[in-house]
Amino acid sequence: MKAVRVHEYDTQPTLDDAEDPKLTSPLDVVVRVEGAGVCRTDLHIVEGQWEDKSGVVLPYTIGHENAGEIVEIGSAVTNVAVGDKVILHPLATCGLCLACRAGDDVHCADSRFPGIDADGGMADYLLTSARSVVPLADNLAPADVAALADAGLTAYHAARKAAALVRPGDTVAIIGAGGLGHIGIQAMRALSAGRLVVIDASPEALALAKDLGADETILATDDPAGELLELTAGNGAEAVLDFVGEGTALDFGTQLLRRAGSYYVIGYGGTLSIPTIDIISTEINFVGNLVGTYLDLHELMALAAAGAVTLHTVKYGLSHFASALDDLHHGRVRGRAVLVPDAAV
């Protein structure tokens, strides 16, 4: 099969001939990949930012947002069959540890993360487990939802946490309406009756945010903190969802919070710095978000099937992966880039 593999950090991956994955466990599943999302984390992996965290041995195949058709199953698999269209939860989990038993499988004590610490899905085929596959409704095509497997899942995971605390009339500030943020806007709209205020540096992104359900928009190059305080009678937002996590977003992000508000960190790359006295004196909360649970992905697919969450995608043939990575790096992708089989473009 063909696979996009990293041979050396800070060097362009290559499209290689690689061995087809083989079943190694009765609960294994092999999927023909029909959509593989291209994520900023892939750029960070290529740059070497994940080298120490993943401990992966090079070369290996990247791609952690995957969907496709099941082509082979292990002898103990009963929840899906060959021919089923599925989206893959990013983790292949054990099901036996305390985290898995509690439904918090994203913190599984014995998991694989294809595309991060094991071979991923920017390839013709991918090996995963029966616990990781979520069957798709008939009206959902794998290539159209693949990026929801991580970007969408992470956005939904954060929105679900925030929505549990947001009451009608509360204000939710969303920083970033790009590949992650445009999904988060829809998820918050579906889960919450709060007022959604979206902040972005791009007028085009803000126009999209309005179409997706934002109540108010603020241009980040103006005075976002001042404008939001004006909208909230000086109080600030009950919840801030930061889908950027770097650059100027961190300069004004915490200024958006009201007392006892919660700041959900989703995007990453920068350093959040705030005096501890400010945290204590206002009782604000900072919440990290790492992908999401299997249940989160199941619920997100239900929203997608109902049309409540749609994904704006740009599709590239697998052999054009370098163009996808380059376009993402230079900010030329609106929504999410997705690799598909060359014949599907």
Which structural domain, as residue segments, surrounds residue 20? 2-150+293-344
Q: Which amino acid makes up residue 83?
A: G
What are the beta bridge partners of residue 239?
A: 172, 262
Whether residue 196 sits in one domain with residue 144? no
Q: SS3 helix, strand, coil % of the chain, rounded to 5? A: 35, 25, 40
Whether residue 163 sits in one domain with residue 270? yes
Whether residue 191 sits in one domain with residue 173? yes
CA atoms within 13 A on the CB side of 136: 25
Phi, psi angle pair for 193, to nearest 5°: -100, 15
Whether residue 8 sits in one domain with residue 137? yes
Packing angle between helix 294-305 and helix 181-191, nearest 10 degrees?
Answer: 80
Asked which of 288, 307, 335 is the last residue of a domain, the reply is 288
Whether residue 221 sits in one domain with residue 145? no
- pTM over 0.75? The answer is yes
* CATH code, domain with 108: 3.90.180.10
* Residues in contact with 241: Cβ distance below 8 Å, sequence separation at least 6, in sequence order: 158, 159, 162, 172, 173, 174, 175, 181, 184, 188, 264, 266
* Residues in contact with 245: Cβ distance below 8 Å, sequence separation at least 6, in sequence order: 265, 266, 267, 268, 269, 270, 272
* CATH code, domain with 280: 3.40.50.720
Q: Which amino acid makes up residue 244?
A: V
Asked which of 251, 268, 288 is the last residue of a domain, the reply is 288
**Buried residues in 133-171 as b, exposed as e (16+ CB within 10 A):** bbebeeebebbbbbbbbbbbbbbbbbbbbbbeebeeebb
Residue with tokens 């089923």: 84
Whether residue 168 sits in one domain with residue 274? yes
Please count the structural domains in the chain.
2
Q: What is the pLDDT along the chain (345 residues), one digit of tens a residue?
A: 999 999 999 999 999 999 999 999 999 999 999 999 999 899 999 999 888 888 899 999 999 999 999 999 999 999 999 999 999 999 999 999 999 999 999 999 999 999 999 999 999 999 999 999 999 999 999 999 999 999 899 999 999 999 999 999 999 999 999 888 999 999 999 999 999 999 999 999 999 999 999 999 999 988 999 999 999 999 999 999 999 999 989 889 999 999 999 999 999 889 999 999 999 999 999 999 989 999 999 999 999 999 999 988 999 999 999 999 999 999 898 778 999 999 998
Q: Which amino acid makes up residue 133?
A: V
Whether residue 112 sits in one domain with residue 240? no
Whether residue 283 sits in one domain with residue 309? no
